[in-house]
Structure 1
């Protein structure tokens, strides 16, 4: 839709706004300018704006000026003229009482006599050409111009048209609120040669405070402008006019929006600190949008009254939030969501299980996941039963984790997978000793390794099977890596918590917790009889099952370090090897401590190289020491070395004398 900047400038002063800024802010507010055309004859600019479907109210120069006033927070040049309807005829309303109304529907009927000229000014025709409106009679051209300028206009009828089309009054928009017969009587008394102009509006009376918005507060301004144009351009005489008003009730358009939702949608604003738009700023923006905000501190929400010209546009909470963002400018918000580096609390158990998974993967094992509902190999009345099982293979809860790993082994063998190294961390269920009607749920770790080509004794020989000692070494490495205090023993006790029937006799090792004095797991070679049920070959398969919670209890985390870090020197060192004659019972640590204390700034280390004893003299011995000197600030020169040698000789002489005295 095309608009004239010269016509817009009648309502708002655009001289104080740079055109580039004007164009940019209109685009950011959703009114994108497609084209700009200059008309040198009238020193005017025509802007072609792409009006979206939800902003149909921007159809006139006044509506665009009002939107510009809102965006730039600049007042309009004109002020609304109050409508005086008290002298008009009040039409009777049966549906409303005197108090049950909040607006006035108003009609003004004017007669226009003796039109002298039909010539329309060029500047007015130019405004019609901008909107591609065809030229007609002068009065009709003024009617279209008023609509372009104000967004509303008057109706033109005469007695002949009324007589020919009796329902013409019923077709007018706001006149439908009135009784057509009463208006017909007024028009019938007018001369048939005269033109009849009808102006309509809906107005809020001053004494009514139920709404803060005006339906047509600039009606009187548009009426005066129309009368001036008609009398100037047509030379017609305006006769007396009749007025009719009716009390009506219009539902209040209100929206409630919480401050929390505004902050959630728009996010943080740019600044030194992360913060949201403050309440005072939001309220000022809502006032700038003419939404008459009222803030409720207890509920932290804004109660808004929507103006009539935005009733079709602002219908939801998100529409209001979008308008706030347009006024505050979206570039003032963070365009990226801030990463939250804070992590939730992770339990020690969760961290340890994660560490165990990573270590087993590092050792070359692959994790598998199996269902807890299965059919246990060993038939036992104590096995947890499933009521109404779906299939025969899923009628019990598993009592150990190894049988699931054996099923994985069987499936891999069928698919010609020769090397199988897997583990699983999952749940097992055992009967409660105290109450045999209930079952305990535990987490176990299971490992199964089958590898024909695990190791070779010599590169010229073929690789051989994994044996029990290799498997035992893998488990010891695993326990050492997780810093577990558990040990491996050969007690071969019968533990009901693990599947002892799956292991070979005398090829089973228990994992023992020395602190709590109980077995927490079992490792060994899979029973040959069970292997023969899978295939007729006697394969060497090694398995392990351990209680995961009890394993974690044996681990100990290092919360301290046993060493001290120091700054490394970039300068070269000087080494001196010395031999000291000492008494037989003098402590060497005391000697090292004495030397270091005397030259603690330059001595980097003192090492004992050797010790010599004289078999003939049992009271003395000779100690060879290597002393390293280094400075952290400079390279040692000849004077420094001379000082070191003299100081060291004096110290050694004192040590020899003290040794002789002993």
Structure 2
């Protein structure tokens, strides 16, 4: 939208503000300046503004001037007052039966003598991309640009039926109405307003019109755009321009109005809410916006603020022309920041020292996921909807399913993981390590609906282990799969035990998973504390992967109940570590070989050696073992690391230690 710099200065004194500062502050206030046009022909600057959808009231110069006055805290050169609406019982020569019209004013002007439009008037129209035609047209367009009011002009000589039709769409182009208003004029100077069907009898005027009717009104629609404050200014200036440049005789004004019911909308905003959203002020030692500055900004916005010191709440009154965009407290806070200047607020997110609470279940689910991802597993996410299984009696059916394949809720994670695994085989992946954490559903005699969170995993790797760099890679085997699962459970500090047998009660909990596993290669996981079943580990049944021979004996699957797993975790609050200073002196390594009987306990021997030479022996480990089947004597090689905490050991010390060890072993 285009606005004239000269016309803006008619309403507000901008001489003390440089044009660059004006543009910068207007942009920071939310009005983007698209272009500045220097028109040398009319000696004016044309400002092209991008008006957002929520500021539709900025459609004329006077409304932009009021906004600039709020931004720069300046006063207007003119005094704006609301029209005093007259009581309904006042008798006038004008009868108003319309429900749309709030205020209307009509004048007749006769014996017009036309002149050419003055140059200043033509320049204002040219600056707004409006082509000047003749005086009455130019005045009508000028008033609409300047004041935002459409002054309707009709040719009296062409009113054969003394009937004037005008469409309310001319007042506000954004509002669509399906009816027109009609004015009936007769010799008794009686005006009658009513709603009739649209017609094409609207009279026009030209540069030869001698007798005219001026009409302007406020309705329920354009009243929202603050038109009542500028109505008299626009109407009076129209008459003044016509009389000045056209002459003529003007009649008395005919007007009518009805009382508007309803007060202006009010909002309450807490002081702490304003400070919390806007944040601290930059370079002010993190101080927040003061009550004085908030009050000043609200006054600049013409919101009539009132502050309650007891409740620390601002109460504001929203003018009619801003009710369409100032509806919530956040809208008012944004206006305060816009007027004060967003650049003065610290643009950093607040730091929170307090952390939110997380449930134990959520914590361990995250820890399980993190552990598996670190081991190289890939996480799968599958739907809980599946097809009906014939052999499963505890499935929960879905009423009115979309498809037969999604007619029931799944009772295990295993089936989806096997389907994911088959897809990996089709894509010729030699390594498959997938896990899923998801919900399973089942019904039993006690409850028709049960929901649990399960952890499921499937492992297959044809190149899992290499003994030497020159050897071929070996495939994953049973103990490898069990070791991976044990590492996960040890990381979580679970207290579990394994069992090959399953009780009849536990069988009902895990029967939907066992069918996917080989009956001869599976193991059950129990809570060591209360013997509660946690999960199962086993080799995938060959019937699910029978079409590829190399995968038959290398695919393992496990499924664990998350709640039961968390119950098996033990919390060790005491630390058993011994802290002592590290020796700065070098160590000495010696290897010794001892013969022991088959039933001798090597752990007791090591503890005996450490106990007698505690200050000089740092560590003992077994590095080799040999068993003679003929003599039935076991030979063990021990590596002993000697180190002193206060000196360097010499040969004499080592000889004494070795003699001491010989005596201990001899005994």
Q: TM-score, normalised by structure 2?
A: 0.57
* Contact persistence 1:373–1:397 (CA under 8 A): yes
CA–CA distance in 2 between the matches of 1:228 and 1:106? 17
* Contact persistence 1:37–1:47 (CA under 8 A): yes
Task: Tell me how far 1:76 sits from its aligned partner.
Answer: 2.0
CA–CA distance in 2 between the matches of 1:162 and 1:392? 78
1:35 and 2:36 equivalent? yes
* Contact persistence 1:421–1:449 (CA under 8 A): yes
Q: Aligned pair count?
A: 547
Task: Tell me how far 1:306 sits from its aligned partner.
Answer: 1.6
Unaligned segments of structure 2, at least 5 residues = 169-180, 192-207, 587-609, 619-641, 649-667
* Contact persistence 1:90–1:246 (CA under 8 A): yes
- Mean Cα deviation higher: 350-359 or 454-463: 454-463
CA–CA distance in 2 between the matches of 1:2 and 1:369? 56
What residue in structure 2 maps to residue 635 of structure 1? Answer: none
SS at match of 1:9: helix
**Residues 428 and 165 of structure 1, relative CA distance in 2, 3 Å threshold:** closer
SS at match of 1:93: strand
Task: Tell me how far 1:91 sits from its aligned partner.
Answer: 1.2
Task: Tell me how far 1:357 sits from its aligned partner.
Answer: 3.5
* Contact persistence 1:106–1:203 (CA under 8 A): no
* Contact persistence 1:36–1:46 (CA under 8 A): yes
Bigger radius of gyration among the two: 1
* Contact persistence 1:259–1:301 (CA under 8 A): yes
SS at match of 2:22: helix
**Residues 303 and 477 of structure 1, relative CA distance in 2, 3 Å threshold:** same
CA–CA distance in 2 between the matches of 1:437 and 1:268? 52
**Residues 480 and 17 of structure 1, relative CA distance in 2, 3 Å threshold:** same
1:487 and 2:497 equivalent? yes
CA–CA distance in 1 between the matches of 2:388 and 2:133? 93
* Contact persistence 1:142–1:230 (CA under 8 A): no
Deviations 1:566-613 (A, max 9, x none): 999xxx9799xxxxxxxxxxxxx9xx9xxxxxxxxxxxxx95469xxx
**Residues 409 and 110 of structure 1, relative CA distance in 2, 3 Å threshold:** closer
SS at match of 2:255: strand
Task: Tell me how far 1:25 sits from its aligned partner.
Answer: 3.8
What residue in structure 2 maps to residue 15 of structure 1? Answer: 15
What residue in structure 2 maps to residue 271 of structure 1? Answer: 281
CA–CA distance in 2 between the matches of 1:349 and 1:522? 20
* Contact persistence 1:267–1:334 (CA under 8 A): no
Question: Among 326, 333, 351, which residue is 2:363 paired with?
Answer: 351
Aligned runs of 1:265-344 on 2, under 5 Å?
Answer: 267-269=277-279, 271=281, 288-290=300-302, 304-307=318-321, 314=324, 317=327, 327-329=339-341, 331=343, 344=356
Question: Among 172, 181, 190, which residue is 2:187 paired with?
Answer: 181
**Residues 172 and 450 of structure 1, relative CA distance in 2, 3 Å threshold:** closer
Unaligned segments of structure 1, at least 5 residues = 186-192, 205-209, 576-588, 593-605, 611-622, 630-662
SS at match of 2:371: helix
* Contact persistence 2:318–2:326 (CA under 8 A): no
* Contact persistence 2:433–2:458 (CA under 8 A): yes
CA–CA distance in 2 between the matches of 1:293 and 1:215? 22
CA–CA distance in 1 between the matches of 2:249 and 2:523? 119
Question: Among 215, 234, 246, which residue is 2:228 paired with?
Answer: 215
Task: Tell me how far 1:348 sits from its aligned partner.
Answer: 1.7
Q: CA RMSD in A?
A: 6.5
* Contact persistence 2:147–2:230 (CA under 8 A): no
Aligned runs of 1:90-239 on 2, under 5 Å?
Answer: 90-91=92-93, 93=95, 95=97, 105-109=104-108, 134=132, 162-163=156-157, 165-166=159-160, 170=164, 177=183, 179-183=185-189, 215=228, 219=232, 223=236, 227=240
**Residues 46 and 300 of structure 1, relative CA distance in 2, 3 Å threshold:** closer
CA–CA distance in 2 between the matches of 1:337 and 1:523? 48
Aligned runs of 1:512-661 on 2, under 5 Å?
Answer: 512-517=526-531, 520-521=534-535, 523=537, 539=553, 542=556, 544=558, 546-557=560-571, 608=616, 626-627=645-646
Deviations 1:470-510 (A, max 9, x none): 444444433333222223467787763556785565x6655
Q: TM-score, normalised by structure 1?
A: 0.57
Aligned runs of 1:406-425 on 2, under 5 Å?
Answer: 420-423=432-435, 425=437
* Contact persistence 1:498–1:545 (CA under 8 A): no
* Contact persistence 1:2–1:48 (CA under 8 A): yes
